[in-house]
């Protein structure tokens, strides 16, 4: 037999023996409901009354200006919509790579690093 099959068979044997010794340990834990909390799954077609809902606050003009820094107006395509997507993480909202690969100017204080040629190309 291949070594991986031997190891897998050994692990299955150990797990089977452990379950045989403690039959109560393999039973799933029962969750106790909290009084007044909605229980999901009883009526999947209907949202329970009193269930929490997410609310998004629209982005302020200051936030939009910070997120769209370096993007020239008029903004192309749906850039405004992408920037104002709510709580989702969007790469547009934060700084990317450092100079010289920083077209939006998020890292203005960082020193520009000149690309280094590989040693094999320099020796030619």
Q: What is the pLDDT of residue 117?
A: 46
Residue range 14-49, pLDDT digits in tens = 777 766 665 555 555 566 667 777 676 777 788 777
Return d(Cα 98, Cα 109) in angstroms, integer: 10
Instruction: Give me the helices (H) in 22-92, please.
Output: 61-67, 79-83
Express each pLDDT in 49-83 by its tens digit: 787 887 878 888 898 888 888 888 888 888 888 88
Tell me which DSSP letter residue 10 carries.
Answer: H
- What gap in Å lies between CA 69 and CA 71, rounded to an integer? 6
Global pTM reads 0.44
pLDDT at 18: 67
């Amino acid at each position: 037999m291949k070594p991986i099959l031997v190891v897998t068979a050994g692990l299955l044997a150990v797990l089977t023996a452990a379950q045989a010794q403690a039959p109560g340990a393999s039973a799933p834990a029962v969750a106790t409901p909290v009084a007044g909390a909605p229980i999901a799954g009883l009526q999947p077609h209907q949202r329970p009354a009193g269930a929490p809902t997410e609310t998004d606050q629209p982005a302020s003009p200051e936030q939009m200006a910070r997120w769209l820094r370096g993007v020239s107006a008029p903004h192309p395509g749906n850039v405004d919509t992408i920037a104002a997507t709510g709580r989702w993480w969007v790469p547009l909202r934060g700084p990317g790579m450092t100079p010289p690969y920083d077209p939006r100017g998020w890292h203005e204080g960082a020193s520009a690093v000149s690309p280094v040629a590989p040693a094999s190309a320099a020796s030619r």
